[in-house]
Amino acid sequence: MKHLYFLPIALLPTLVTSCKKKELGAPPSMPPAGVTVQVVAARPFLEWEELSARIVATDRVELTPQVSGIVVSIPFQAGQLVKKNDVLFEIDAATYQAKNEMSAAQLARAEAALAQATSEAGRVPTLLAAQAMTSEEAEMRQSNLLQARAQLAAAQAEHQLTGIDLQRTKVRSPIDGRISRALVTVGNQVSSGTPLTSIVSIDPMHAYAELDESTAVRARQALLTKKVKLDEMQRVPVELRIADEANFSHKGWLESLDNRIMPGTGTLALRASFANGDEALMDGMFAKIRIPLDAEKPTVLIPDTACKTDQGKKFVYVVDEKSTAQYRPVVLGPITPEGRVIREGLKDGDKVIINGLAKIFMPGMPVNPQPEAP
């Protein structure tokens, strides 16, 4: 006869757990986090200061007439290129033509009067010698000669003035440039000071920017000590880009710095000049410019994404000789198309983690560093 033995129910969970532990075993250790590193190597680099700027035409003219009258012709199209001395507006010249012809007649009369007075004064010595003239008559003839000369000078000036007014009935462009629309139409009365249109030059163009006081001091010091990179014409280079451009493709030069810092803003005005043969730049545009404030020198550059912030302090992770991630505080410079400038904290040979930072939870974690792709 067989005997059956029963275990207490309370011991069953203990036995089950014990069996599972034997089956599962100890948990495996996590492998080091895979990260990508960049080996720091300072390289020659020219650091630029980037500024907001406004583009302004070198020459800008608000065209107004210098004589009054009715507009009879506007021989231009809005937006076209014009040359210096092109006729842009014609004012009715009939009155000015008549005045000019009248002054020409007065000039001829004055010339005739002077010829007569000169002839009469020329006979004075002979008549006085023959006692055919009194001294008073001789003096009168000399006075008539002087008056005739003065009247001729006045007639010449009057004829010149009427000629100038006649010329001014044709309103001409004082500069080469692109013209705006006409602000008056044919048949309207205009007078001196009436706005007619505006013209802006197109090549070259100026860019105006403001330097804060500390940057202005650096810029002046760099210029005075000549420790700044110059172009082939020994000018300070300036580069510019407009809103739809990714690169600073427009090359120019620093024309001037103002002679004082503005008290209200604490800034120093800067003006740069840019060639604009392709008319990519327009008067009134906003742009970004950059200028060098130092000579080319060895500089550490890393991707900006490698830089982290810890309570306001900037840092990066570097890989040490034990393949662990270590905290390294850094001092940042400006960000450039080539990367973030590092002023302090890194040296040649340091291995900076540039990818895989999300896998690092604390300094000292083991990592599996891989070099960045070439």
**pLDDT tens-digit series, residues 337-367:** 788 889 889 989 999 988 888 888 888 889 8
The dihedrals phi and psi of 254, each to the nearest 5 degrees, come to -75, 115
Only one residue has tokens 């000078």, namely 153
Q: 70 vs 221, which has greater pLDDT?
A: 70
Q: 251 vs 373, which has greater pLDDT?
A: 251
pLDDT band at 82 (very low <50, low <70, confident <90, very high): very high
d(CA 210, CA 205): 17
Homologous superfamily of the 48-58+202-293 domain (CATH):
Efflux pump adaptor protein, beta barrel domain (2.40.30.170)
Q: What is the DSSP string of 17-33?
A: HHHHHHHH-SPPPPPPE
pTM of the prediction? 0.69
Kindly report the number of other CB atoms within 10 A of residue 140's CB atom.
15
**Per-residue pLDDT at 56:** 95
Kindly report the number of other CB atoms within 10 A of residue 7's CB atom.
8
DSSP secondary structure code for residue 234 in this structure: S
**Per-residue pLDDT at 32:** 84
Q: Which helix (H) or strand (E) holds 152?
A: helix 135-167
Print burial letters for 295-307: b (CB count within 10 Å at least 16), e (below 16).
eeeebbbbeeebb
Q: What is the mean pLDDT of residues 36-41?
A: 89
Q: What is the DSSP string of 296-363?
A: -EEEEEE-GGG-EEETTEEEEEEE-TTSBEEEEE-EEEEEETTEEEEEES--TT-EEEEE-GGG--ST
**Per-residue pLDDT at 29:** 63
- Decide if pLDDT at 44 tops 80: yes
d(CA 225, CA 254): 16
CA dihedral 190, 191, 197, 200 (to 10 degrees): 160
- Decide if pLDDT at 291 tops 60: yes
Q: 67 vs 17, which has greater pLDDT?
A: 67
pLDDT band at 21 (very low <50, low <70, confident <90, very high): very low
The CATH 2.40.50.100 domain(s) of the chain lie at: 63-91+170-200
User: Class of 33-43+298-371 per CATH?
Assistant: mainly beta
CATH number of 94-167: 1.10.287
Q: How many residues does the chain have?
A: 374
**pLDDT tens-digit series, residues 197-238:** 999 999 999 999 998 888 888 878 777 777 777 777 888 889
Q: Pick the closest to residue 40 from 352, 353, 369, 356 (CA basis).
A: 352
Q: How far apart are the first and last CA of the chain?
A: 83
Q: What's the whole-number average pLDDT of the chain?
A: 85
d(CA 275, CA 249): 12
Residues 313/332, Cβ–Cβ less than 8 Å: no
The CATH 2.40.30.170 domain(s) of the chain lie at: 48-58+202-293
The CATH 1.10.287 domain(s) of the chain lie at: 94-167
Residues 353/316, Cβ–Cβ less than 8 Å: yes
**Per-residue pLDDT at 19:** 45
Supply 280's token pair. Answer: 């990519």
pLDDT band at 296 (very low <50, low <70, confident <90, very high): confident
**Per-residue pLDDT at 6:** 43
Residues 189/65, Cβ–Cβ less than 8 Å: no
The CATH 2.40.420.20 domain(s) of the chain lie at: 33-43+298-371
- Decide if pLDDT at 27 tops 70: no
Q: Which CATH number fits domain 63-91+170-200: 2.40.50.100, 2.40.30.10, 3.40.50.300, 3.10.100.10?
A: 2.40.50.100
**Per-residue pLDDT at 220:** 80
Residues 64/193, Cβ–Cβ less than 8 Å: yes
pLDDT band at 122 (very low <50, low <70, confident <90, very high): confident
Quick one: what percent of the chain has pLDDT higher than 90?
A: 41
d(CA 368, CA 323): 7
